[in-house]
Structures are given as C-alpha cells and as structure tokens.
Amino acid sequence: MAETDTKWGFDPQRPIPRVLRERESKEPIVRFFSFHDAHPKALVLVLMKAFDLEWVEWEPEVLKEEIVKEFQATGVSHRNWGKIQACRTLMTSRGFWEEYNIFSPIIQALNNNDPSFDTLRRAEISQLMAGVDMAFGIERGDFSDEIKGYVAACAIDAGIMFLPPPLDFAQLYLSDVKYVCKVCGNVDSLDLEDGRCDLCTSRYKDVHNLNGRAADGVPPEVGTQISVFATRDPGEVRKRFQELMLLGSAELNDNDPVDVQTAKLVVAHKYMLLRRSQLDEQLKELGSWVTR
C-alpha cells in the first residue's frame, strides 16, 4: 500500500462508513481538521478560502462550530485547535512579535505541542527555526529586543553560537557584541549606532540625557577610537554550517565543539525543511480547498 493511501488516517482497505459515503465529495477536507499533524499555514489557507478574514475575529466556540458545519469535518483535534488559535494570535496582535511569554507558547503550538501560558517552556533550536519559518509564512513582523534576547538565551542554553536564517535576527544578541575604547579603556555593549565610547562622549553624564546622543559640545571625533569584538564569535560555526549546506553531508567530529554545534543546527534545519515538505504535500492533497 502506498504511503499516501493512509494519509490522515484514511485506509482504502477498510469499508467506508455510510456517513462518509454520503459526503465523499468533501474528501479530504472532512479528515483534515482531525488530523493532528495539519500544517499551520494549511489550516490558515483553508479557513481563508472558506471564511475570508472574518474567522480571525470570531469567538472560539463559533469558529469551531462553523468549521464542523462548513467542511462536514469529523472534528477538530486538540493539536489543530491549538495551532488555529496560535495563528489567530500572531495574525491579530503584536504579542508574538514583542512578548516572549506569548512568543514561546505559540512556537510550541506551531510545533504540535500543547501551549502553556502559565509555565515558560524553553524552545529547542529546531522548534524555533521551524516555528519562526512557519510564522513568517503566515504573517511577517519585526521582532522586539525582548524576543531577540529570548531566542539568543535559548541558543546559549543549547550551546550554540551561530543562528542561521530565519533566526539570524537574534544573532547580535547571541554574539553579545562589545567594544573597548582605545583611549579610556572602557568596555561596554555596542548598543548604539554612532559607534562611539559612552564615557568619552559623556553620553550619560547628565541624568536627563536619555536620548542616547553624545553630550553637547563634544567634538564628533571624540570617542571614535574603539575596537569591536564578539563575546561569542559565530564565525567558525557559520563557516562549518555553510560548508555542510553546500556539501549536503560530511563527517562530523563528536569531540570538536564547532562540529557539535553544527550538527545541532543541521538537525534543526532538516526539521524545518521537513515541515515545509509537509505543507507542500498537504496543499497538493487539499487542492481546491485552499486559497493561494
């Protein structure tokens, strides 16, 4: 039996119940919402085709009732319902893009896990990579410094110093870029765009100077003699990861810290690609039930 024959729990060797025979024209949509591994973007595209943008504003009970009625669905699985609610949140609010306590459970929901808003669950790199990739396929936004810091913290906890796309937005936080002033010796975070020493420019000498600019009267050349460095340099891991992406496969040394980090990133990247392939397969199977 071909693998596609049992997709979403449908086995042609078993008799089709009468209730399904009566709505065969609705296949495969009647099984889609009860299939636990439905891709979040596929769910959104199906709902957009049927209800346009109205569904994102409906009460949860109304939305679930309309799904069952419109598609004659056999039900909406617990995991799919979590993904639908997560997608509604990232489409209608800034929470996912700005607050880590909203970002984290939505990442879990997109990855087929039960989201919890009461307990913070650290996301794995593979979950972050696939989750952000899926979110970008539904809605596009700019992440806040809080989210960048959260993603960087997850990477540090995993022992990783390089974040490839789509997580590269947090690389600056992960690298923890600093400067050392060659004049006064001050070491501080390189968090301002002018690239000047905070002490030499008396940036914060006045307690009311909250605009981040150099103090009035400080010549423009003062404070520019700085040397920039990264506390966590991503260079070697970036190079190794890019090599593996070009080669497709290679021998990795379990005793080499760079290779260990690279292996984790390769696993995460493959998982992201797997989720993309699942989306392609589901959209092909759903056909006219989705809007492009």
What torsion do the CA atoms of 243, 245, 250, 253 make, to the nearest 10 degrees?
70
pLDDT digit string, tens, across residues 57-74: 999 999 999 999 999 888
Q: What is the DSSP letter of 214?
A: P
Q: What is the DSSP letter of 178?
A: E
pLDDT score for 207: 58
Q: Are 47 and 55 in contact (CB under 8 A)?
A: yes
The answer, as to whether pTM is greater than 0.85, is: no
pLDDT score for 74: 84
Count of Cβ atoms closer than 10 Å to residue 232 Cβ: 17
Report the distance separating Cα 90 and Cα 136, nearest Å: 10
State which residues of the chain have pLDDT below 70.
Answer: 1-26, 206-210, 249, 292
Q: Where are the domains of the chain?
A: 3-161+269-289
Tokens for 203, please give them. Answer: 């940036």
Paired residues of 188 in beta bridges: 179
pLDDT score for 110: 97
Q: Which residues contact 48 (CB under 8 A, 6 or more apart)?
A: 55, 291
* Residue 34 burial by Cβ neighbours in a 10 Å radius (0-12, 13-18, 19+): middle
Count of Cβ atoms closer than 10 Å to residue 185 Cβ: 9
Paired residues of 178 in beta bridges: 189, 229
Tokens for 61, please give them. Answer: 């009970």
pLDDT score for 14: 46
pLDDT digit string, tens, across residues 35-46: 889 999 999 999
Q: Which residues contact 271 (CB under 8 A, 6 or more apart)?
A: 126, 129, 130
Tokens for 33, please give them. Answer: 């919402």
Tell which residue, 275, 261, 25, has the closest CA to residue 131.
275
